[in-house]
Amino acid sequence: MSDEVFHDPNVPQEDYLSGLRLARRDFLLKSGLAAAAIAAAPTWLQSEQAAAAIKASTSVGAVRDPIAANAVAAAKKHSGFSMGRVNEAGPQALDDKNFSGPLWEKLTGIKTNLTEAPFAQIRTKIITENLAKSGALDSVEVSPAWIPDFADQGVILPIDALVRKNKAQATVADLHPLYRALARYKGKTWGFFDDGDVWALYYRKDIFANAKLKAAYKTKFKRDLRVPRSWDEFNQVAQFITDQMAPKVYGTGMGRALGNPGNQFYFFQQFRANGGRFFNPQTMKAEIANAIGVKTMNQILLQNKASPPGVEKLDFVSGWGLWLQGKTAMIMAWPPTGRISENISQRDKAFSFLPKSQIVGKVGYARVPGQNGEHAGAFIKCVMATSENQDAAYLYNQWATSPSISLQRVMLPYTLRDPYRISHYRSPAYKKLWKGADQYLVTLAEAANDAVLDLSMSGAGDYANALDRAMTSMYAGKDVKEALDEAAREWDSITRKLGVAKQRASYANFLKYPGATSKNTIRKLGQAIKV
């Protein structure tokens, strides 16, 4: 890297966006073309991955995956059934459309009737269908944070008896220990975990290796430039890079738009790394507006300061756009970031909404500063209690999440499913996807060892929304303490409404999960996985 990385004061700050405008146009054009191409040419049958999945589901001997094969054998009696599914709109749904859905139909004769919805509206859709008792949905994607509400209100079925009946107990042993716990609630299993959504830090190796930048950093801070290990260091490094390189490159830049991806994730992550807890477990008074909360918010605001202009309204995918075009030096994000950085996903037309990566081979992986990355969102495959064919829905879930089939699914170029099984992290096939994939898998496993979980308790959606709103008001200039006090009052009001005693029990249950706080992560419980 040459001198050109340094800031040219004659370039207006927003001129760096010319590339992004093209990306947007590119997105609009290509997404239309992609939809047509995908609908017209389902080439999944030719794919190596589909062949491997079929082999694992039907063969005998070493390649046979008994969990997948048992599910297929048992599901054949439901041939002709049309199974209602809901999945996240866009790339995630392509799994159902292009891979799992056609494959399952070929193997069992069960058709998939897919409904697509944006992440937050999946919850809405499931609740609506449950209230209406329509029976339209059979197998559904449920975020772990929704499990307590869905289980308590009888929306989803516990599957322990079905797991025993279909001899699928072994499927759990291969999960990363963090994910083994997430489908459990009140002593029962509510579905099959299916998406390792842990956040990690993705950084530009070339920028951190730049000699001039390193020298300038050392001169200014009297220590070496390195990948940040604490939040204060992250802010310092991000601001330093911005000061030196903007508008060509900014230190960081993550989508902060209201509800997209949901600012609570950022707060939850850093607040607990800073030692915070959400409630007083006895009184259930919210504790987000204390000194730790204020410190966390101020750190987040400093990240915005080191980011490109307008980041407060940038959605998550636009944040990816900046990253892929080399406009940001570090981002904290979901695992697909590693794949899209190497253009693995953009090989597929479905991903043409993202620009081609200009940073191939330049990306390094690390745990987020403070080490405790958020396990944000994710999915568990569950069976709707109102399903008219619960057995078929369960068997599909067992098959799709079995070790062999799930490995193929997390390797699909399209979709956003992320590795979550120990066998995924160790898979030789995955490691061959790109140079550095082995390090990527090691980082994901390590990140899961230290991960903290989304708040998963009754009313989780309400608490998250109140915090998300408060954070966007702070981005717009509201006083941090005042906005956090307001959010805390709103949390207290939600708690009162749902019942303090009920919420106390629900929070106590949440605290039992590994990763509920930074003090009881998988690593601190002595269950860390080495890959």
Partner 1 sequence: MDRHIRWLLVTPAVLIVIALTIFPLGFSLWVSFVQYDFTLGPEHPWVGLDNFVENWKDPVWRASLWRTVWFSLSMVAIELVLGMLLALAMLRPFRGRRALMTLFVIPLFISPVVVGGFFDLFVRRPYGIANQLASWVWPGTVTIDFSNDSPWLYIVLIIADVWQWTPFMFIIILAGLAAIPDTLYEAADLDGAKPRQSFLFVTLPLVLPVVLIAVTFRLIDAAKLFDIIFSLTRGGPGTDTYTTSYYLYQQGFEFFHLGQGTAGAWMFMIMLTFVSYWLVRRLLKPLEEAA
Q: Which two tokens stand for residue 123?
A: 């919850």
Region binding partner 1 by CB under 8 A among candidate stretches 20-28, 47-55, 176-184, 193-201: 20-28
Q: How far is the CB of 382 from partner 1 (least distance, A)?
A: 16
Interacting positions 438-467 with partner 1 (CB under 8 A): 458-459, 461-462, 465
Out of 183, 411, 452, 470, the residue judged to bind partner 1 by CB under 8 A = 470
Using an 8 Å Cβ cutoff, are 416 and 333 in contact?
no
**Residue 349 burial (CB count, 10 A):** 18
Interacting positions 97-126 with partner 1 (CB under 8 A): 120, 124
* Chain-centroid distance, C-alpha 15: 32
Q: Which helix (DSSP H) or strand (DSSP E) does residue 114 occupy? A: strand 111-117
Region binding partner 1 by CB under 8 A among candidate stretches 41-49, 305-313, 417-425, 509-517: 305-313
Q: According to the binding rule CB under 8 A, does residue 21 interact with partner 1?
A: yes
- What is the residue type of 279? F
Number of residues binding to partner 1, judged by CB under 8 A = 42
Out of 152, 388, 479, 482, the residue judged to bind partner 1 by CB under 8 A = 152
Interacting positions 485-504 with partner 1 (CB under 8 A): 497-499
In sequence order, the 6+-apart residues with CB closer than 8 A to the CB of 104 are 75, 110, 112, 396, 399, 400
Q: According to the binding rule CB under 8 A, does residue 127 interact with partner 1?
A: yes
Indicate the DSSP class of residue 356. Answer: P
Q: What angle do CA 417, 422, 423 make, to 5 degrees?
A: 80
- Sign (positive or negative) of CA dihedral 205, 210, 214, 220: negative
Out of 444, 483, 484, 488, the residue judged to bind partner 1 by CB under 8 A = 483
Q: How far is the CB of 511 from partner 1 (least distance, A)?
A: 20
Out of 358, 473, 509, 520, the residue judged to bind partner 1 by CB under 8 A = 473
Q: How far is the CB of 5 from partner 1 (least distance, A)?
A: 20
Out of 66, 102, 109, 259, the residue judged to bind partner 1 by CB under 8 A = 259
Q: According to the binding rule CB under 8 A, does residue 12 interact with partner 1?
A: yes
Q: Which residue has the tokens 């146009």?
A: 25
Longest dimension (CA), the chain: 72
Q: Which residue has the tokens 């107990």?
A: 169
Q: How far is the CB of 271 from partner 1 (least distance, A)?
A: 19
Q: How far is the CB of 144 from partner 1 (least distance, A)?
A: 17
- What is the residue type of 247? P
Helices and strands in the chain, H and E counts? 25, 13
Q: Which helix (DSSP H) or strand (DSSP E) does residue 186 occupy? A: none
Q: Which of 456, 382, 378 is nearest to 149 (CA)?
A: 456
Indicate the DSSP class of residue 82. Answer: E
Q: According to the binding rule CB under 8 A, does residue 479 interact with partner 1?
A: no
Q: How far is the CB of 131 from partner 1 (least distance, A)?
A: 7
Which residues of this chain interact with partner 1, rule CB under 8 A?
12-14, 17, 20-21, 24, 120, 124, 127, 131, 149, 152-154, 257-259, 308-310, 312-314, 318, 458-459, 461-462, 465, 469-470, 472-473, 475-478, 483, 497-499
